[in-house]
């Protein structure tokens, strides 16, 4: 620990790219988004080479990786260990984030530095009453954009001179998936299962579908299981309604194509409705509603959401996913002793 501020390497794999960042403490030194062809098979050796080229032989003091689809766990920073790697290899859900910890661990062993994840997507702080789904064979699960939710909520609290742990917030992450969480005094006590379970439809996901109709279609013989799952996650939502999930392209079509406007407006409407559910969870005691994620760059979406939600409380916009910066911030907290890393 010879440096006052550590050099932190942050790793965030996605389905079509890997985002990398080098941070001196919480200040970005450089970042890069390395894209790969759509549907290309991810090779860990290739990813390792990309990361090593990115670091340009600068030796980081620690590595922070995006958390994958692990077992449910409380919010926090976790040291990467063999149990975590084994669970990621055998994860029930396939997701690009599952690659982050194995990549980080390989580099950590090679360089002799510690490696961690922070606030994985399976971060679970649901209250008991939020778990029943309506039948004993089913249970509501906490799968959401926990890293960005937590980091953005803390960022907002800091901006108003308060502590995240003292506030009630509704956080809306708008991206390829949409997650809406009720943050009560530092804990996400309720949130939609944003991967393939429930919530508003999104650019690529169908969200909550009529259960009876879904079952009847599944047993109609018209679609395979794989096709049904893609209908729910990957080829649902705006992709199904308009032929694209690119919001920038859709905004150019809003004026001329009423069906496109209706689909986008319905996404906004459903998002606002689920935010209303979280307002009930917080019993109307809401310090702020925070809108974040990639779609928060869309003025059309944010302004229409504000129109639906502003009566619930002040609305703050923090566009972008900010995941690399969030990883660096969590790593810095551990390095400086402000936060203690957990064992998975």
Q: Where are the domains of the chain?
A: 7-124+323-343, 146-319
177-226 pLDDT, tens digit each = 999 999 999 999 999 999 998 999 999 999 999 999 999 999 999 999 99
pLDDT at 45: 74
Mean pLDDT of 228-245: 95
Q: How sure is the predictor about 322, in pLDDT bands with cuts at 50, 70 and 90?
A: confident
pLDDT for 330 beyond 90: yes
Indicate if 146-319 has the same CATH topology as 7-124+323-343: yes
Residue 230: both structure tokens together: 């893609």
DSSP 8-state code for residue 232: H
pLDDT at 279: 98
CB 172 within 8 A of CB 315: no
Mean pLDDT of 141-157: 94
Residues 306, 289: Cα–Cα separation, whole Å: 9
Q: How sure is the predictor about 17, in pLDDT bands with cuts at 50, 70 and 90?
A: confident
Mean pLDDT of 214-243: 96
CB 275 within 8 A of CB 180: yes
Residue among 188, 169, 191 at smallest CA distance from 180: 191
CB 116 within 8 A of CB 77: yes
In terms of pTM, does the model score above 0.75?
A: yes
CB 33 within 8 A of CB 19: yes
pLDDT at 1: 40
54-110 pLDDT, tens digit each = 998 889 999 999 999 999 999 999 999 999 999 999 988 777 789 999 999 999 999
Residues 85, 106: Cα–Cα separation, whole Å: 11
pLDDT at 2: 42
Mean pLDDT of 306-318: 97
23-65 pLDDT, tens digit each = 999 999 999 988 766 555 666 777 888 898 999 888 999 999 9
**Count of Cβ atoms closer than 10 Å to residue 117 Cβ:** 29
107-130 pLDDT, tens digit each = 999 999 999 999 999 999 999 999
CB 219 within 8 A of CB 185: no
Helix (H) or strand (E) holding 305: helix 299-309
- Determine phi and psi for 23, rounding to 5 degrees: -125, 135
Residues 123, 157: Cα–Cα separation, whole Å: 20
Residues 335, 340: Cα–Cα separation, whole Å: 9
CATH architecture of 146-319: 2-Layer Sandwich (3.30)
Taking all residues of the chain, what is their mean pLDDT, rounded to a whole number? 93
Q: How sure is the predictor about 16, in pLDDT bands with cuts at 50, 70 and 90?
A: low
Residues 47, 293: Cα–Cα separation, whole Å: 25
> Looking at domain 7-124+323-343, which of 2.60.120.260, 3.30.420.40, 3.40.50.920, 1.50.10.20 is its CATH number?
3.30.420.40
CB 100 within 8 A of CB 312: no
Mean pLDDT of 300-329: 95
Q: Considering the chain, what percentage of its residues have pLDDT values greater than 90? A: 84
């Amino acid at each position: 620990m010879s440096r006052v501020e550590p050099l932190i390497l942050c790793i965030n794999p996605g389905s079509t790219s890997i985002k990398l960042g080098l941070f001196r403490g919480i200040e970005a030194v450089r970042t890069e988004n390395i894209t790969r062809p759509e549907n290309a098979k991810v090779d860990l050796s290739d990813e390792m080479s990309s990361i090593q080229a990115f670091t340009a032989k600068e030796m980081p003091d620690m590595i922070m990786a995006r958390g994958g689809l692990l077992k449910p766990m409380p919010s926090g920073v976790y040291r990467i260990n063999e149990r975590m790697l084994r669970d990621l290899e055998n994860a029930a859900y396939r997701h690009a984030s599952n690659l982050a910890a194995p990549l980080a661990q390989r580099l950590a062993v090679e360089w002799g530095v510690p490696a961690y994840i922070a606030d994985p997507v399976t971060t679970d702080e649901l209250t008991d009453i939020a778990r029943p789904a309506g039948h004993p064979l089913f249970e509501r699960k906490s799968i959401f954009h926990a890293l960005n939710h937590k980091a953005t909520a803390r960022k907002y609290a800091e901006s108003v001179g308060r502590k995240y742990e003292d506030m009630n917030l509704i956080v809306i992450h708008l991206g390829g998936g949409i997650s809406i969480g009720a943050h009560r005094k530092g804990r996400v006590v309720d949130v939609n299962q944003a991967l393939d379970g429930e919530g508003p439809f999104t650019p690529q996901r169908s969200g909550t579908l009529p259960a009876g109709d879904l079952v009847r279609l599944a047993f109609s013989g018209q679609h395979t299981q794989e096709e049904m799952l893609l209908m729910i996650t990957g080829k649902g939502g705006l992709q199904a309604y308009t032929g694209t999930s690119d919001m920038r392209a859709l905004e150019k079509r809003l004026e001329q194509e009423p069906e496109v406007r209706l689909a986008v407006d319905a996404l906004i409407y459903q998002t606002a409705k689920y935010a209303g559910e979280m307002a009930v969870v917080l019993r109307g005691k809401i310090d702020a509603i925070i809108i974040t994620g990639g779609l928060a760059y869309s003025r059309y979406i944010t302004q229409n959401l504000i129109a639906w939600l502003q009566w619930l409380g002040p609305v703050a916009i923090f566009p972008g996913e900010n995941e690399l910066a969030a990883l660096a911030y969590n790593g810095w907290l551990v390095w400086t002793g402000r936060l203690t890393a957990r064992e998975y």
